[in-house]
């Protein structure tokens, strides 16, 4: 809390110095304590200049997924009000799940720079190398039936795709049910997990992995990063992970409220505009069989409606789909 107060004052000072005396007064601590906090902030990556006579000046802030940065200027009321950040974890979803079982409040967010056992759907791995990714798990406690979980997954895909589009201008597309592609390359995956009783969700974890500035050589085949996709378009720039994480949280909250107030209709409409699925020829891979068909629609429960070659419509609520050209 004191760190955040100090940062707020330094940011407010823009490029000019803030005296140690002033900082002491605002933070309500001693000069020596201010010094210690400055050391801690420098350790977190803040470049803070100290001048004996003038005081302190903020030179640069780190693109680090630490709570004070995520929360800075975050326009949400619930999501991201509680942020816990790690350098390295097995899985942010597992941590969020365990904390949710202990009662951590709705909107809490677990972030990590690296995951050793990042999880994908159906027991798969989500490759989560350090230096450039966002690995983020949000705890939600919606008053919903378990059957409604696909709605949250689709909602999250819409939120992430919109955040990426807004920040980078890249044409992020959604692939049912939970991937975000750019130019057919996967840049983001979403894994929703929940604990539920027979008729109500107890809590829900929305896990989001985004390859932001991740070196492409550390990613599996078919995967890409936002930086890589920008580079391919002649825009060789790093994307601010902090800014993207904030935008994702804001978009998530906006659509989460939308779902509660207006139902799933508007979200599914947005989903369709950002998905190249409807009308596409696909192959559906289920555990025990595969079949081909044309995507006819997305159902109001989030499942895919497929027109089989026989003309019949078939609903698919799980499994993998492969786009066929």
Site residues for its own copies per CB under 8 A:
121-122, 143, 145-147, 149-150, 152-153, 177-178, 191-200, 202, 287, 301, 317-319
From the CB of 222, what's the least distance to its own copies, in Å? Answer: 21
From the CB of 292, what's the least distance to its own copies, in Å? Answer: 20
Measured from the CB atom, is 20 or 302 closer to its own copies?
302
Measured from the CB atom, is 54 or 202 closer to its own copies?
202
Measured from the CB atom, is 152 or 239 closer to its own copies?
152
Q: Are 237 and 228 in contact (CB under 8 A)?
A: no
From the CB of 191, what's the least distance to its own copies, in Å? Answer: 7
From the CB of 279, what's the least distance to its own copies, in Å? Answer: 23
Alpha-carbon distance of 71 to 65, in angstroms, equals 10
Measured from the CB atom, is 16 or 122 closer to its own copies?
122
Measured from the CB atom, is 77 or 122 closer to its own copies?
122
The helix or strand, by DSSP H or E, that contains position 292, with its residue range, turns out to be strand 290-298
N-to-C CA span, the chain:
54
List the one residue out of 183, 188, 97, 179 whose CA is nearest residue 137: 97
Q: Are 84 and 67 in contact (CB under 8 A)?
A: yes
Measured from the CB atom, is 37 or 175 closer to its own copies?
175
From the CB of 204, what's the least distance to its own copies, in Å? Answer: 10
From the CB of 270, what's the least distance to its own copies, in Å? Answer: 18
Question: Phi and psi (nearest 5°) for 85?
Answer: -115, 145
The SS3 assignment for 213 reads: coil
Measured from the CB atom, is 21 or 101 closer to its own copies?
101
Bridge partners of 136? 111, 208
Residue 36 to residues 2, 25, 29, 30, 71: CA-CA distances in angstroms?
Answer: 11, 16, 11, 10, 22
Measured from the CB atom, is 171 or 301 closer to its own copies?
301
List the one residue out of 55, 81, 68, 66 whose CA is nearest residue 4: 68
Alpha-carbon distance of 41 to 6, in angstroms, equals 10
Q: In what order do the strands lie in the sheet with 109-115?
A: 83-89, 109-115, 133-140, 201-211
From the CB of 219, what's the least distance to its own copies, in Å? Answer: 23
List the one residue out of 5, 56, 55 whose CA is nearest residue 27: 5
From the CB of 180, what's the least distance to its own copies, in Å? Answer: 15
């Amino acid at each position: 809390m004191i760190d955040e107060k100090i940062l707020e004052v330094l940011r407010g000072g823009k490029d000019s110095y803030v005296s140690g005396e002033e900082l002491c007064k605002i933070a309500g601590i001693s000069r020596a304590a201010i010094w210690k906090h400055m050391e801690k902030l420098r350790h977190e990556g803040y470049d803070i200049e100290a001048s004996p006579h003038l005081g302190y000046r903020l030179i640069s802030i780190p693109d680090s997924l630490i709570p004070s940065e995520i929360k800075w200027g975050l326009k949400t009321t619930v999501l991201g009000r509680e942020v816990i950040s790690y350098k390295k974890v097995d899985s942010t979803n597992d941590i969020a799940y365990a904390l949710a079982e202990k009662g951590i409040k709705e909107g809490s967010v677990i972030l990590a720079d690296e995951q050793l056992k990042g999880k994908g759907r159906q027991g798969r791995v989500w490759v989560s190398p350090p230096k450039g990714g966002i690995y983020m798990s949000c705890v939600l406690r919606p008053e919903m039936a378990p059957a409604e979980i696909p709605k949250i997954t689709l909602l999250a895909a819409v939120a992430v795709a919109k955040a990426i589009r807004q920040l980078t201008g890249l044409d992020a597309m959604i692939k049912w049910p939970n991937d975000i592609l750019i130019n057919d390359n996967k840049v983001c995956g979403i894994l929703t997990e929940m604990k539920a009783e027979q008729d109500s969700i107890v809590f829900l974890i929305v896990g989001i992995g985004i390859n932001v500035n991740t070196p492409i050589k550390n990613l599996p085949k078919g995967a890409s990063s936002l930086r890589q996709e920008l580079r391919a378009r002649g825009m060789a720039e790093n994307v601010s992970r902090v800014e993207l994480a904030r935008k994702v949280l804001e978009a998530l909250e906006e659509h989460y409220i939308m779902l509660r107030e207006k139902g799933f209709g508007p979200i599914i409409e947005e989903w369709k505009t950002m998905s190249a699925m409807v009308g596409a020829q696909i192959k559906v891979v289920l555990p025990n069989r595969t079949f081909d068909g044309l995507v006819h629609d997305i159902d109001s429960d989030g499942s895919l409606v497929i027109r089989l070659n026989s003309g019949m419509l078939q609903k698919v609520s799980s499994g993998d789909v492969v786009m066929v050209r």
